[in-house]
Structure formats: structure tokens, C-alpha cells
Structure 1
Amino acid sequence: MGVTVSDAVLEKTGTEGEPTLQAEGARTAGEVVSTDEAFELLSNRRRRYTLHHLKQSGPRVQLGDLSEHIAAWENGTTVEEISANERKRVYTSLQSHHLPKMAERGIIEYDSRAGVIELTDQGDELDVYLEVVAGRDIPWSQYYLGLSAVNATIVAAVAVGVWPLSLLSDIAWAAFIVTTVLVSAIAHVYRDSSMQLGTNEKPPELRDT
């Protein structure tokens, strides 16, 4: 449940001396965000974009700067070209709902008076990967299932001496199968790294736009 600024309490002083507001009932240092809470938080696009921007540009950002970047991403444009209304809608939504909710879960520290958001250690340690599958693409799980089926068929065919597979040695086919798995794994690791929040300038779901 989200909280408003009036529900916040003064908890500690930031590194530069300004007061830092956290939502009442926020987690203390060391408490772990559960899987369900992480999914709930990141089910909203603006909260995903917030975490991405903090990981990519932070860990400490101004609310105005964050609002401009999120508005630009949502409208498929640049920070320089967003309208005042587009920026204001995002600013108000973040200020009144999303940032207090993230602060309550211990992902960020939010000073509503100064308009400053800071990523906590807990938020920084939250590694998030998004598997974005386009209409003609397939998930990695299905890809590996298909690759396993193809390699199993090759092994069976080689075992019974099917021509022309029998022209190559067992060692050659073993090397081929290992290579297909290795290349696929390397491609998967690269893809995962590019789909992690905070890795690139744009959020992962906008990577190809």
C-alpha cells in the first residue's frame, strides 16, 4: 500500500547534511526484499524506470531529472523534447505514489522536501533481468529445449550410422554439439547482461527502440 508524504517521518541525516525522509514502517538496513515484494514493485513501469535510472546514473538523483528521463522514455522522445504536461504527470505520480512505495520497501531513500532520491544498498544489490520477447522471437527456455532436441536427434542418428552423418567421426560430432551449447550460452550471457536494469542508457524494454 502506498503512503503519502504526510505519512513520512524524519529518520536520519544524509551525507551532505540534508534530512532524509523515509516512509513510516520502512525496512531497516539488512532486511531483505522478498521475491513477491520485488515482483510487486517492478510490475509497474515507472518504478522499473526509476530503478534503472538510479542504477545507471545514480545512486543519487533529483526528482526533476528522474521525471524528465521517465517522461522521455514513456513518450519515445528525448528529454529536450518532452512537454511540460508530460513531465508534470510523471513528476506528480512519482512524488505522490511510486517513490514513497519504493522507500517503504527499502529500495530507495526519498527526501520529499529536497526532491532527492538515493538508491540504497538493498536496491543496488537487487539484480533485475527482463526477458523481453518480440512477436517473432522465442524465450530462451524454448530455444534450449529445441537445441536439446536437435542435438539428441544428431546423437541418435550418429549412433545408428545414418548417412551422411556417419561420414564424420564421433569426436567431430561431440565437438559440434559442445560448440552449439557453448555459443548459445555465450549469447545468452550477453543478452542477459544487456537486459539488466541499469546496464544501458535506456531501460531494457526500450533497448531496440
Structure 2
Amino acid sequence: MATNRAAGEAQTDLDEPTPDRGEIFGLLSNQRRRYAIHYCKREDGPVELGDLAEHVAAWELEKEIAELTAAERKRVYTSLQQSHLPTLERAGMVVFDDRTIELTEEAAELDVYLDIVPGDSVPWGVYYLGLSVIASIVMGGLWLEVVPTGTIPALGWTTLVVGLFAASSIVHVVQNRRMRLGEVERPP
């Protein structure tokens, strides 16, 4: 009998639909839900609803927790409890049990959808395309012997191009880590 129950449980898990891309963007379109996910990721374990509400309220109002009023805390607490956490739970991103919230494994997949590009920045895809064009011009110039190799040998030009890609990749990785939910004190 236990075998059937285990098989039935496994079947139920397989039948649960995973959120599609549009649903995930819908989840992440709300700042309060992003803040809730950020706090849970940062704490790396179950969190209390009261602590979550305090931090979310402080971030939203750009205040220190000690400066929050009871009304500000309660407004966020109620909103999280009645709307946002049940929405995240239905999507399979959190387990919300009474007053405790814990992220699920599915929440780790949200990072893919949070490639945040600041308003004054060039998207990384465009940047790498431009870098590839420059590298192609340099390499084509070397093949056609148009690029001078007297002062800088061909290996030096190649090293320069590879170095540009390596440095760009390092900057890209560092910037993406800073923009991930749960990685820094204040949410991006």
C-alpha cells in the first residue's frame, strides 16, 4: 500500500504545471514580490512573515526598519499575507505555511529572468556584438596584412582581442552577480 501511495505522490508531482515565461514575468512584475524573493534568498532558509514585511516595507519606503510606523508594517504584512505570498505559492516559488516562508527549488530559476540592464547602459548582447565586429576587423586586417605587425606582432593583436573578451566577461559576471536577487543587502 505504501508503494502505491509513493507512486501516487510521484505522479501528483509530475502533474503540477510549472509556470511559463509569461507567468514568471507576471510574478516578477510586482516590486513587492521581487523584494520578498530577494529577502528570502538573502536569508537562505525559512523566514518569518513579520521579518519579511519589515524589510520589504523599509526597502519600499527607503527607511531604516526602526523608522517604520506600525501602520507601514501592517500594510505590507497584510498585502504579503493575503496577496503576494499566496500568488508565489501557487506558482510554486515559495512554501507559505502559517507565518513562515521558504523558497522552493523553482525559485532558483528566476535569476534567468532578471538580467537587469541599467538605463544608462548598453545591453551585454549588443556590447559583445560590437566587440566581435572589432575583433573581426582586426583579424581580417591581419589576414589581409593591412594591420601593421611591425610594432605589434600578430600574436600581440590576437592577445589584445582575447584580453578584451576576457576582461569584458569578468565585468559582465561581476555586474550580473550584483544585480541578482538575494546577493546584496538592498534589492536591485
TM-score, normalisation: structure 1: 0.73
The alpha carbon displacement at 1:70 in A equals: 0.5
The alpha carbon displacement at 1:134 in A equals: 3.0
Do residues 128 (structure 1) and 114 (structure 2) align?
Answer: no
- Quote the Cα distance in structure 1 between the aligned partners of 2:110 and 2:89: 17
Q: Give the superposed CA RMSD.
A: 2.2
Instruction: Looking at secondary structure, tell me which structure has more helix per residue.
Output: 2
The alpha carbon displacement at 1:162 in A equals: 4.3
- Segments of structure 1 that go 5 or more residues without pairing to the other structure are 1-27
The correspondence for 2:85, drawn from 74, 92, 99, is: 99
Instruction: Looking at secondary structure, tell me which structure has more strand per residue.
Output: 1
- Quote the Cα distance in structure 2 between the aligned partners of 1:195 and 1:118: 21
Aligned to 2:135: 151
The correspondence for 1:78, drawn from 48, 64, 67, is: 64
- Quote the Cα distance in structure 1 between the aligned partners of 2:126 and 2:69: 42
- Segments of structure 2 that go 5 or more residues without pairing to the other structure are 1-11
1:50-103 CA-to-partner distances (Å, cap 9, x unmatched) read 111111114211111101101111112221222223222211211111111111
Distance 1:165 1:83, change over 3 A: farther
Aligned to 1:181: 165
Aligned to 2:100: 116
The alpha carbon displacement at 1:106 in A equals: 1.6
Aligned to 1:62: 48
TM-score, normalisation: structure 2: 0.81
1:117-146 CA-to-partner distances (Å, cap 9, x unmatched) read 1222333x3241533333322111121122
Distance 1:163 1:181, change over 3 A: closer
Secondary structure of 2:109's partner?
Answer: coil
Q: Percent identity?
A: 40
The correspondence for 1:90, drawn from 49, 59, 76, is: 76
